[in-house]
């Protein structure tokens, strides 16, 4: 039986949001609207959706308003993932804590953070509707949560604030996120490609 008091629930959610938003950026590209992104590493690697980062350059705005010129360094339209590199210089970046999509259960609380309709740093609360798997591995996280354009590229996080997915699309009213396990594979593939000297042109 649930005996969770409501007030601490609100406080915990507010704390989770204020922590998580430090690792969430706004991604602006010429022509397209704004999307969201996740600070993946302290050296300035940002993960977002491929459909958010369609151009070679993007402007990246941190939670506190600091703005950087970013270069789109990898773009995978099949997985709908992209990376943007920024040079943080002496600026300290807060990276996102990454969770385990394989541990998600239907009914688990999830939080989305992003810039729906251009509203900065908006939070949404929902639950896991179903984790769609392929050969035992998570393929899509479908969430009963209210998302909007501008959430794309932003994090879907678990009840502890760990990022488990990249919010990518809305299908049949459900928020659909690419699991972070897929992001890791994408980053590994890109690293391997960089080592082999391969460059798409």
Binding site for other proteins (CB under 8 A): 1-2, 4-5, 8-9, 12-13, 15-16, 19-20, 22-23, 42, 92-97, 99, 105-109, 126-132, 142, 144, 158-162, 172-174
User: Quick one: 2 or 201, whose CB is closer to other proteins?
Assistant: 2
User: Quick one: 50 or 112, whose CB is closer to other proteins?
Assistant: 112
Contact 164, 156 (CB under 8 A): yes
User: Quick one: 11 or 56, whose CB is closer to other proteins?
Assistant: 11
Shortest separation between residue 157's beta carbon and other proteins, angstroms: 9
Contacts 24+ apart (CB under 8 A), 129-137: 129/174, 130/106, 131/101, 131/104, 131/106, 131/179, 137/102, 137/181
Strand partners, 25: 37
User: Quick one: 109 or 187, whose CB is closer to other proteins?
Assistant: 109
> Greatest CA separation found in the chain?
58
Contacts 24+ apart (CB under 8 A), 183-192: 183/40, 183/47, 183/81, 186/74, 186/76, 186/79, 186/81, 187/40, 187/47, 187/83, 189/76, 190/73, 190/74, 190/83
Strand partners, 28: 34, 59
Burial class of 131 by CB neighbour count within 10 A (0 to 12, 13 to 18, 19+) = buried
Shortest separation between residue 96's beta carbon and other proteins, angstroms: 6
**What is the distance between the alpha carbons of residues 92 and 74, in angstroms, rounded to a whole number?**
23
Shortest separation between residue 75's beta carbon and other proteins, angstroms: 26
Residues that are catalytic: 51, 80, 152
Shortest separation between residue 145's beta carbon and other proteins, angstroms: 9
Shortest separation between residue 179's beta carbon and other proteins, angstroms: 15
Strand partners, 51: none
């Amino acid at each position: 039986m649930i005996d969770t008091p409501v007030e601490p629930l609100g406080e915990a959610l507010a704390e989770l949001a204020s922590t998580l938003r430090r690792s969430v950026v706004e991604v602006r590209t010429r022509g397209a609207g704004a999307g969201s992104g996740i600070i993946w590493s302290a050296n300035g690697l940002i993960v977002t959706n491929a459909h958010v980062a369609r151009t070679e350059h993007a402007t990246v705005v941190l939670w506190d308003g600091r703005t950087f010129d970013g270069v789109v360094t990898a773009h995978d339209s099949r997985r709908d993932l992209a990376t943007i590199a920024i040079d943080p210089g002496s600026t300290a970046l807060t990276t996102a804590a990454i969770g385990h999509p394989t541990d998600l259960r239907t009914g688990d609380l999830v939080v989305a953070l992003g810039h729906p309709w251009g509203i900065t740093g908006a939070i949404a609360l929902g639950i896991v509707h179903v984790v769609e798997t392929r050969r035992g591995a998570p393929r899509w996280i479908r969430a009963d949560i209210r998302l909007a354009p501008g959430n794309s590229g932003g994090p879907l996080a678990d009840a502890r604030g760990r990022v488990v997915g990249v919010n990518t699309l809305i299908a049949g009213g459900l928020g659909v996120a690419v699991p972070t396990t897929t992001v890791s594979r994408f980053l590994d593939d890109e690293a391997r490609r960089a080592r082999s000297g391969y460059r798409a042109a």
